[in-house]
Amino acid sequence: MFKRVLIANRGEIAIRIIRACREMGIETVSIYSVPDQHQLHVQMADQSICVGPAQAAYSYLNVASILSAAVLTNCDAIHPGYGFLSENPDFVRAVEACGITFIGPSADVIEQMGDKSAAKKCMESNGVPTVPGSDGPVATLEEAIKVCREIGFPVLIKASSGGGGRGMRRVDKEEEVRSAFDSARSEAKACFADDRVYIEKLILNPRHIEFQILADHLGNVVHLGERDCSIQRKNQKMLEESPSLFLDDDLREKMGTVAIRAAKACGYKNAGTVEFVVDKEKNFYFIEMNTRIQVEHPVTEMVTGIDLIKEQLRIASDLPLSVKQDDICMRGWAMECRINAEIPQKDFTPSSGEILFLHEPGGMNIRFDSLLYTGGEVSPFYDSMIGKIIVLGNNRLEAIRKLRCALEETIIEGVQTNSAFQYTILHDPDFIRGQFDTGFMEKKKDALLSLMVLEE
What residues line the site for its own copies (CB under 8 A)?
15-16, 19, 22-25, 44, 298, 301, 305, 307, 331-332, 357-360, 362-370, 373-375, 398, 401-402, 405, 408-409
Provide, rounded to whole angstroms, the least separation between the CB of residue 374 and another protein.
Answer: 7
150 binds, among another protein, its own copies, none (CB under 5 to 8 A by kind): none
Stretch of residues binding another protein (CB under 8 A), selected from 34-42, 99-107, 138-146, 215-223 = 34-42
Provide, rounded to whole angstroms, the least separation between the CB of residue 82 and another protein.
Answer: 23
- Other Cβ atoms less than 10 A from the Cβ of 347: the count is 8
Residue 251 near residue 257 (C-beta atoms within 8 A): no
185 or 367, CB closer to its own copies?
367
Q: Please list every residue from 421 through 440 that binds another protein, using CB under 8 A.
A: 423
Residue 317 near residue 354 (C-beta atoms within 8 A): no
Residue of 227, 252, 292, 367 marked active site: 292
Rounded to 10 deg, the angle between the 177-192 and 141-151 helix axes is: 110
Residue 209 near residue 284 (C-beta atoms within 8 A): yes
Alpha helices in 27-79 (DSSP H): 40-44, 63-72
**Residues near 178 by Cβ (< 8 Å), separated by ≥ 6?**
141
397, 403, 405, 406: CA torsion to nearest 10: 160
Tell me, residue by residue from 353 to 382, as one string, x for binding to another protein by CB under 8 A and - for no binding: ---xx-x-------------xxxxx-----
90 or 248, CB closer to another protein?
90
182 binds, among its own copies, another protein, none (CB under 5 to 8 A by kind): none
Provide, rounded to whole angstroms, the least separation between the CB of residue 54 and another protein.
Answer: 11
Rounded to 10 deg, the angle between the 116-124 and 107-114 helix axes is: 100
56 binds, among another protein, its own copies, none (CB under 5 to 8 A by kind): none
Provide, rounded to whole angstroms, the least separation between the CB of residue 178 and its own copies.
Answer: 52
Among 57, 71, 141, 204, binds another protein (CB under 8 A): 71
For residue 146, report the phi and psi dihedrals to the nearest 5 degrees.
Answer: -60, -45
Residue 215 near residue 198 (C-beta atoms within 8 A): no
73 or 322, CB closer to another protein?
73
Provide, rounded to whole angstroms, the least separation between the CB of residue 4 and its own copies.
Answer: 17
166 or 310, CB closer to its own copies?
310
Query: Does residue 338 carry a catalytic annotation?
Result: no
- Other Cβ atoms less than 10 A from the Cβ of 332: the count is 17
208, 214, 218, 220: CA torsion to nearest 10: -70
Antiparallel, parallel or unpaired: β 221-233 and 207-215: antiparallel
Catalytic positions, written as ranges: 292
Where do contacts with another protein occur on this chain (CB under 8 A)?
22, 34, 38, 40, 42-53, 59, 62, 64-69, 71-73, 98, 356-357, 359, 373-377, 407-411, 419-420, 423, 455
